[in-house]
Amino acid sequence: MTKPLILNHARLFPSERVSRGICERLYDSVKSLPIISPHGHTDPRWFAENEAFANPTELLLTPDHYVLRMLYSQGVSLQSLGVAPRDGSEYQRDPRKVWKTFAEYYYLFRGTPSRLWLDYVFKHVFGIDVKLDKNTADHYYDTIDSALKTDAFKPRALFDQFNIELISTTESPLDDLRHHRNIAQSDWSGRVISAFRPDPVVDPEFEGFRENITALSSLTNEHCQHFNSYLAALVNRRAYFKSTGVTSTDHGHPTAATANLSASEAETLYQKVLNGQFTVNEAELFRAQMLTEMAKMSIDDGLVMQLHPGSFRNHNSSLFTGFGRDKGADIPLQTEYVNALKPLLDKFGNDPKLTLIVFTLDESAYSRELAPLAGHYPALKLGPSWWFHDSPEGMRRFREQITETAGFYNTVGFNDDTRAFLSIPARHDVARRMDCHFLSTLVAEHRLDEDEAFELAHDLSYRLAKQAYKL
């Protein structure tokens, strides 16, 4: 027996009547604002080539690490979910069968943000009015698959339908940005830019690091045999990225450690990592020094700097070996910021030309470390709740713990940080609802005037991200 798929208009609003009424008015004022997506991982090729998405499975399941990790945790193999092993062994190649497996286990997502996002997509994007389960799997697949074969569901049309003003993707310094150039040269008005993600050439423990430095040398005509020429090569690539419309850099380090080495110390350390003769501690010190170097470059070229530390990447070693990166086995770490950021902040924290946006996977740092730091240093801003905390509960905790010390205007609005393109409007909708929920409570408790709440709702939904990322 099928069950109706219902999305209540007042979902995530306060249950108390007065606050709920305020929340509804606030939400109605921001629900249709354009989407600014300044930090994400959608594929720029989608928008450059504007080809139809292959099928529901490749669009909605394969790129979503939340879906993969939940199913894997319940014993569903990645092979059965259509993920190809590195060794060329067999996996399920039939996307309909993969979808049926997903539908059979869809109950696992009850109460999770993934369920909120996916149900939003099913209802609002594809117009499906029954719940997903094993009995409705074929109906879902056929409905979505048929839609994807039409022009209205090609990437550019969906971009416009979702009212997206801008998406930023994320590329390595070694990327030639050909897809972004093709987008810019097309007659389409959608704005898709990149972000400069230097991890492959600044992290000595990144796979292929030495080969990546060789490629960086070739791209820039800098020999990169000494630290200064290596820095010059990075400046060169940053300038190239900026020339295509890029406004930010993005740094996914395991910790927030920064350093301020002398020129001779930096050269000695660089020779060690270049030759592969370094310890784990020296790799960490090199990454730390490079964050400070990147901050200096940001002051010079104006690119906004993003730092999101605290992930133990590829924690499941056999999964990483078998299937590669980004398969849902990245785990949060306890992260320290006060001492870690001090070398960088000592040098550049008071410079108004620097914008450093810091994210965290460690919620325990919100009120103790991050809010006081951002509430003091002009250069520092706080990114929104991210990854495991980009949920209604995580968003509420973020506002509760950050606002008392850092206020609203030392934060940068919301970003969706996703590879799952169709989840973008769903994620922004959840964020807008939760911010309106928080603001309505302040109004109901007479801690905020309602006219200020309306202005703040607009700022949190749109203005702050546009301002912080220089868009």
Q: What is the reported pLDDT for 387?
A: 87
Q: pLDDT tens for residues 84-106?
A: 999 999 999 999 999 999 999 99
Q: Are 306 and 359 in contact (CB under 8 A)?
A: yes
Assign 62 a pLDDT band (cuts: 50, 70, 90).
confident
Could you give the CA distance from residue 110 to residue 120 in angstroms, rounded to a whole number?
14
Q: Does one domain contain both 453 and 311?
A: yes
Assign 327 a pLDDT band (cuts: 50, 70, 90).
confident
The DSSP secondary-structure symbol of 53 reads P
**What are residue 382's phi and psi, to 5 degrees?**
-105, 125
Which CATH number goes with the domain that contains 222? 3.20.20.140
Q: Does one domain contain both 22 and 115?
A: no
Q: Does one domain contain both 118 and 260?
A: no
Q: What is the reported pLDDT for 326?
A: 79
Q: At what angle do helices 17-30 and 424-444 cross, to 10 degrees?
A: 140
Could you give the CA distance from residue 39 to residue 416 in angstroms, rounded to a whole number?
7
The DSSP secondary-structure symbol of 106 reads G
The answer, yes or no, to whether residue 228 has pLDDT greater than 90, is: yes
Could you give the CA distance from residue 98 to residue 77 in angstroms, rounded to a whole number?
11
Q: What is the reported pLDDT for 248?
A: 98
Assign 325 a pLDDT band (cuts: 50, 70, 90).
confident
Query: What is the extent of the structural domain holding 93?
Result: 52-153
Q: Which residue has the tokens 């504007």?
A: 50
Q: Does one domain contain both 176 and 118?
A: no
Coil vs helix vs strand at 196: strand
Q: What is the mean pLDDT of residues 380-391?
A: 94
Q: What is the reported pLDDT for 273?
A: 98
The answer, yes or no, to whether residue 2 has pLDDT greater than 90, is: no
Coil vs helix vs strand at 268: helix
Strand partners, 249: 196, 305
Q: Pick from 153, 174, 190: which residue ends a domain? A: 153
Which structure tokens are listed for 100?
């049926």
Is 82 exposed, middle or buried (CB count within 10 Å of its CB: 0-12, 13-18, 19+)?
buried
Q: What is the mean pLDDT of residues 7-23?
A: 97
Which CATH number goes with the domain that contains 77? 1.10.2020.10
User: Considering the domain boundaries, does residue 124 fall inside one?
Assistant: yes
Q: What is the reported pLDDT for 63?
A: 84
Q: Does one domain contain both 121 and 65?
A: yes
Coil vs helix vs strand at 164: strand
User: Considering the domain boundaries, does residue 5 fall inside one?
Assistant: no
What sign has the CA pseudo-torsion 380, 398, 162, 101? Answer: positive
Strands of 356-358's sheet in order across? 248-251, 304-307, 356-358, 380-382
User: Considering the domain boundaries, does residue 12 fall inside one?
Assistant: no
Q: pLDDT tens for residues 393-438?
A: 999 999 999 999 999 999 999 999 998 999 999 999 999 999 999 9
Q: Does one domain contain both 271 and 201?
A: yes
Domain count, the chain: 2
User: Considering the domain boundaries, does residue 7 fall inside one?
Assistant: no
Could you give the CA distance from residue 345 to residue 307 in angstroms, rounded to a whole number?
13
Q: Does one domain contain both 355 and 442?
A: yes
Q: pLDDT tens for residues 114-146?
A: 999 999 999 999 999 999 999 999 999 999 999
Could you give the CA distance from residue 212 to residue 188 in angstroms, rounded to a whole number?
34
Q: Which amino acid is at 258?
A: T
Whole-Å CA distances, 78 to 91, 94, 332: 8, 13, 22
Nearest CA-CA partner of 284 in 238, 322, 253: 253
DSSP per residue, 369-407 = IIHHHHTT-TTEEEPPP-GGG-SHHHHHHHHHHHHHHH-
Which structure tokens are listed for 75?
């014993």
Q: Does one domain contain both 66 and 184?
A: no
Q: What is the mean pLDDT of residues 221-225?
A: 96
Whole-Å CA distances, 345 to 310, 373, 456: 19, 10, 29
| Mean pLDDT across the chain | 97
Q: Does one domain contain both 300 and 411?
A: yes
Strand partners, 152: none
